[in-house]
Amino acid sequence: MADIKIGITGAAGRMGQMLTRQVTETKGAKLHAASEQPGSPSLGRDAGELAGLGALQVKIGADPAALFAAAEAVIDFTAPAATLAHAGLAARHKRVLVIGTTGIDAAGAREIEAAAKSTAIVWAPNMSLGVNLLMALAEQVARALDPDYDIEIVEMHHKHKVDAPSGTALGLGRAAAKGRGVPLDQVWVKSRDGHTGARQRGAIGFATLRGGDVVGDHTVVFAGEGERIELTHKAASRVIYARGAVRAALWAHGKPPGLYSMHDVLGL
């Protein structure tokens, strides 16, 4: 079978370059198109040379519509506004879209859900196998323990990350809340400051740390009387996100329209 033609948005960024390298290393995938925002100094450059691979004969362009017209599947790790525009293009061109962008609000989520009525979209707060296993475990443990076990989610990322809590931390919170049968937004506590009073039973708390070059550390704490259970994942390299995203693009090719998650891709 012919290789699936992959397009990468934000191809000049750190994640975009890593995705370029991962696509070239993955059997069944071929980099076919790449784009960047208008005004980027990388426009016109070869995506392979930019990623340190040598020329791949794929020039970075400024027109995402052309990218979606050319590729069969597109991987997007950009910013919320750009991702929503790309979701519309994916729906228009009937192209697979894999979304790794975080910080998308509820209104944006509805736009992605609408686009998924026309094409296959894989959207996950984290593309790594280990993190998705962690989410499944968090849901399972939360279901097994009663609300007397307090749930706290602690995450740390590099100093350049712009959203907090991280999309992965919120995903872990949603998994734990699902295990307890409650909507996360009814029980979350995203910050604490000053005289907050005693902790509310059943709350799911978040603590956010930023500093250095930390790729991503996440811990789900279940704190009970006399014991504490901690589930932790630490990412040493962003390659785990790229590997999962490319796997998702290959998996989704040929799938019917719908909004899928990495749990679907991994068969969890």
- By annotation, the residues acting in catalysis are 157, 161
Q: CA–CA distance from 43 to each of 30, 58, 68, 148, 240 (Å)?
A: 20, 11, 17, 55, 27
Q: Which residues share a beta bridge with 258?
A: 120
**Helix (H/G/I), strand (E/B), else coil: 145:** coil
List the structure tokens of 110. 């509805």
CA dist 63 and 48 (Å) reads 18
CA dist 83 and 75 (Å) reads 10
3-state SS track over 203-244:
CEEEEEEECCCCCEEEEEEEEECCEEEEEEEEECCCHHHHHH
In our burial notation (b when 16+ CB lie closer than 10 A, e otherwise), range 154-170 reads bbbbeeebebbbbbbbb
CA dist 29 and 57 (Å) reads 15
- Contact 250/29 with Cβ under 8 angstroms? yes
Q: To the nearest 10°, the Cα dihedral for 48, 50, 54, 58?
A: 30
